[in-house]
Amino acid sequence: MKDITNELPQVVKDHIRAHNAPDPELLMATLAPDALLNDNRREFLGHEAIRKWADKEIFGDKVTLDPQVAYEQYGSIIVRCNVDGTFDKSKLPDPVVLTYYFNIQDGLITQLVIMLNTAVAEPAI
């Protein structure tokens, strides 16, 4: 894995900025029309489904992302973020750290998997 914490692809930077702004239109502009998003083992396919999910669970809960570290591995971008917002954190660790696995093609996110990992293997870089 290559550490790219300080050199994220622009589309990933824009995606994170869309969470923090908040900017639903920018968020959708980062995604391919038929993008697949998996959030905690729930799949959302395409702009319409992802927008409904984002309106409720990202923008409705005022979710913000604070990237801590990022890696590139075989073309995928892996970003670990401290996550905050108004969602129920009572059964979550403090801080809440989610891992975002991005696949990008032609400057757009084609697949995004979001996970709360209980164990994380950090590469020896």
Burial class from Cβ neighbours inside 10 Å (0-12, 13-18, 19+) for residue 28 reads middle
Asked if 36 and 110 count as a contact pair (C-beta separation under 8 A), the reply is yes
pLDDT digit string, tens, across residues 3-54: 999 999 999 999 999 999 999 999 999 999 999 999 999 999 999 999 999 9
Q: Is the pLDDT of residue 102 over 80?
A: yes
pLDDT class of 121 with cuts at 50, 70, 90: low
Domains of the chain: 2-115 (3.10.450.50)
pTM of the model: 0.93
For the stretch 66-91, pLDDT in tens is 999 999 999 999 999 999 999 999 99
In single-letter form, the type of residue at position 125 comes to: I
